[in-house]
Amino acid sequence: MSILLTGGLGFIGSHVAASLLEHGHDVVILDNLCNSQASVARQLELLCAKPIPFYEGDVRDNAILATIFSKHPIAAVMHFAGLKSVAQSATDPLLYFDNNVGGTITLLQAMQQHGIYQFIFSSSATVYGIPQYLPYDEVHPTCPINPYGRTKLQAEEILADLAVSDKRWAIASLRYFNPIGAHPSYTIGELPNDQPNNLMPYINQVASKQRPFLTVFGNDYDTKDGTGERDYIHVMDLAEGHVAALRLIQKSAGLHTLNLGTGQPYSVLEMIQTFEKATGQSIPMKIGPRRQGDLPIYYACADKAKVILQWEAKRTLKEMCESAWKFELQRQSLFK
């Protein structure tokens, strides 16, 4: 049996593919390449030394889903295919609702038609919104503050209704915190389009002299050093969390909503210092204004995943920085 990964050539999907292959699972990938490159499939094949069925197509296309479900013995689907820019979701909300919510509905309908009921969904800590308390646990109220977050929450609501409607559904909705870093082969990693929005890819581009300096978005927050604090999680820990979630849904039906984070927040300044120490590269920076829509601090309560998945994040911030940088050094020769 195989696992279908939609968006499986993207940052998180490709690392989950690597982990699944390492654990002896077969994978099939569907990706429309709107934010990834076909050569990632080649890197995955080199890693696992076997061919990986890859379909270039859209998760909203019922015909391609029918082809995949007819041709391959798919046991479970992991749904990474989504758009993730908060800023773009505010300027083009229809695109986001169509892709992220519409895509999820089309996929779930196709699964139902083919009798496949095991599903893992890429949700986000963004669904919580302004913290009423910290750390966020899974029962913290959900009130996302941007359209992107609302697409994730709407998809979660659909999953909750689906799980109630038919007891065959076994669903894990995984709320990711801030995944960074790269696979230990350094042949897959984060490949941002053009100007990255997120901190780690931006630091990498400053370290590799593609950009002159990092702008720190505000140093007047009520946090340990005034800069924003986040729960960064190594993408390989996150990937292993998916392998554990797959084990869970194979034996336990219903909807399982779980944070995937470390429970440990770090500030922007701590991140810069750790990166500099881990890589020997210096990161010139300037303090700029706050970024609109940023929260000062949020991080996960990781207890539920520990108990239910018997999984916890193990890798340090230093390892996250090192691996991100080592991938950056190889990236240009691997991906044109």
- Tokens for 209, please give them: 């002299």
* Contact letters for ligand UD1, residues 294-313 (x by CB under 6 A): x-------------------
* CA nearest neighbour of 30 among 75, 96, 93, 77: 77
CB of 216 to ligand UD1, least distance (A): 4
Is residue 83 part of the contact set for ligand UD1 (CB under 6 A)? no
Nearer to ligand NAD, 226 or 330 (CB): 330
* 93-101, 194-202, 272-280, 312-320 -> range binding ligand UD1 (CB under 6 A): 194-202
- Residues at the interface with ligand NAD (CB under 6 A): 6-7, 9-13, 31-36, 58-60, 80-84, 99, 103, 122, 124, 176, 178-179
Answer with the entry of ligand NAD, ligand UD1, none that 274 interacts with (C-beta below 5 to 8 A by kind). Answer: none
Answer with the entry of ligand NAD, ligand UD1, none that 12 interacts with (C-beta below 5 to 8 A by kind). Answer: ligand NAD
Three-state SS for the chain is: CEEEEECCCCHHHHHHHHHHHHCCCEEEEEECCCCCCCHHHHHHHHHHCCCCCEEECCCCCHHHHHHHHHHCCEEEEEECCCCCCHHHHHHCHHHHHHHHHHHHHHHHHHHHHCCCCEEEEEEEHHHHCCCCCCCECCCCCCCCCCHHHHHHHHHHHHHHHHHHHCCCCEEEEEEECEEECCCCCCCCCCCCCCCCCCHHHHHHHHHCCCCCCEEEECCCCCCCCCCCEECEEEHHHHHHHHHHHHHHHHHCCEEEEEEECCCCCEEHHHHHHHHHHHHCCCCCEEEECCCCCCCCECCECCHHHHHHCCCCCCCCHHHHHHHHHHHHHHHHHHCC
Nearer to ligand UD1, 184 or 293 (CB): 293
Q: Which of 116, 199, 207, 305 binds ligand UD1 (CB under 6 A)?
A: 199
Q: Which of 96, 148, 202, 221 is catalytic?
A: 148
Length of the chain: 336
Residue with smallest beta-carbon separation from ligand UD1: 228
Catalytic (active site) residue 148: yes
CB of 209 to ligand UD1, least distance (A): 16
Nearer to ligand UD1, 4 or 272 (CB): 272
Answer with the entry of ligand NAD, ligand UD1, none that 75 interacts with (C-beta below 5 to 8 A by kind). Answer: none
Answer with the entry of ligand UD1, ligand NAD, none that 103 interacts with (C-beta below 5 to 8 A by kind). Answer: ligand NAD
Is residue 214 part of the contact set for ligand UD1 (CB under 6 A)? yes
Strand pairing category for 54-56 and 74-79? unpaired
Nearer to ligand NAD, 124 or 267 (CB): 124
| Residues numbered 275-294 forming contacts with ligand UD1, rule: CB under 6 A | 291, 293-294
Task: Provide the annotated active-site residues.
Answer: 148
Residues that bind ligand UD1 (CB under 6 A): 84, 86, 124, 126, 148, 178, 197-199, 202, 214-217, 228, 230, 268, 291, 293-294
